[in-house]
Amino acid sequence: MKTYTLTVTCQSRRGIVAAIASFLAENGCNITDSSQFDDRETGRFFMRVSFVSEEGCDIDTLRTGFASAAAAFDMVHAFHDEGEKTKVVIMVSRFGHCLNDLLYRWRIGALPIDIVAVISNHMDYQKVVVNHDIPFHCIKVTKENKARAEADQMRIVEESGAELIVLARYMQVLSDEMCRKMSGRIINIHHSFLPSFKGANPYKQAFARGVKLIGATSHYVTADLDEGPIIDQDIIRVTHAQSVEDYVSLGRDVESQVLARAIHAHIHRRVFLNGDKTVVFPASPGSYASERMG
C-alpha cells in the first residue's frame, strides 16, 4: 500500500477536517497520523495528514478528486508520496561537523534524502564527499565574483533538480535575489540561540556576556540576515570556567542535531510557514527509523 501525506493551509472555519476525512475515506484511504492547528491570532488553519491508499488510488487521482473540496475552503494544499526522497544540495565552508553528521544520517537512512551535490567555497571536504559518490563543486566566492558564483550555484541546483538547499555552516551571505528565488527552500544552521547574538562570532559574543546557556537555531533563509522563520532550536549549559573555544566545541553537537531535526521536519512536510513564524507538527510514528544501524 502506498503512503501519502496531505498538507493543507486555509482560513479556519467549520467543516474542514470533516471534508478531508470524508474525501480520504470515500477514496479508499486510511488515515494513520494527523495533526492540526488553529492560529487564533490570524485565523489561519494548518493540517498535515498521513494516510495509506488501501484500494490502490494513486496520487494523481487523489489530486484531481480533491480539487472541489479544496476550492470550497480556498485551501492551499499538496499531496506528497512519502516514498519519494527530497533532492538536496548541501553547502559548506570550513566547519565540517554538520556536513559529516548529515552524511552519516543519510548513509544509514535516518535522514531519507537524496544528496545530489555538495557545494563549497573551499576544497577541504572534497575527498570525504567524493568518497560518498556525491558530486562535489568548489566555487570560490569573492566580492568581485559573487554574482557569477551564485549563478554557478543556482545552475547546479537547477540542473540537479534540487528542491532544498542546506547551509551546513556555509559562511557566505546569500544575495537577496537568491533568497527570494529559493524562498522556503533554504535551511540554515546558526551557531547561536537566535534572536540573541546575531552575525559573526556569536560564541564570542555569548562568552563576553557570561551566558549560562548556549544554543543553535535552524531557520529558513530570507533576505534579512538571521531573521528567517525558525524551525528548530536547542541549548547546552556552560559555566564561567569554560573558554570561547569550549563554547565552540560544545556547540558543534547542538548545531548538528538541530540542523538534522530541521531538515527531517522539512522533508516530511511538517513545517508550515506562518508569517514570520512556523508551525512545526510532531513526527509521524516510524519516521525516525533507520534502514540500518551503522
Does the active-site annotation cover 226?
yes
Model's pTM, two decimal places?
Answer: 0.94
Q: Is the pLDDT of residue 7 over 70?
A: yes
Band (pLDDT 50/70/90 cuts) for residue 225 is: confident
In this prediction, residue 194 carries a pLDDT of 75
CB distance 46 to 39 below 8 Å: yes
Q: What is the percentage of the chain residues whose pLDDT exceeds 90?
A: 86
Tell me the β-bridge partners of 255.
Answer: none
Q: Is the pLDDT of residue 234 over 90?
A: yes
Joined together, the cell numbers standing for residue 194 give 537566535
Q: Which residues contact 117 (CB under 8 A, 6 or more apart)?
A: 89, 90, 134, 135, 136, 137, 156, 157, 160, 162
Distance of CA 35 to the CA centre of its chain: 18
Cis peptide before 195 (omega within 30 of 0): yes
How far is the C-alpha of 53 from the C-alpha of 27, rounded, in Å? 8
Ranking 52-61, 82-91, 108-117, 221-230 by mean pLDDT, the lowest is: 221-230
CB distance 76 to 11 below 8 Å: no
User: Helix, strand or coil for residue 49?
Assistant: strand
**Interval 72-126: pLDDT, tens:** 999 999 999 999 999 999 999 999 999 999 999 999 999 999 999 999 999 999 9
**Interval 165-207: pLDDT, tens:** 999 999 999 999 999 999 999 999 998 877 788 877 888 888 8
153 or 289, greater pLDDT: 153
Report long-range pairs for 59-62 (Cβ below 8 Å, ≥24 apart). 59/2, 59/4, 61/27, 62/4, 62/27, 62/29
211 or 161, greater pLDDT: 161
Ranking 48-62, 104-118, 129-143, 206-220 by mean pLDDT, the lowest is: 206-220
- Active-site residue, from 226, 232, 246, 253: 226
What domains can be seen in the chain, in order of their start residue? 2-81 (3.30.70.260), 87-280 (3.40.50.170)
Q: Is the pLDDT of residue 292 over 80?
A: no
Q: Is the pLDDT of residue 291 over 80?
A: no
In this prediction, residue 138 carries a pLDDT of 98
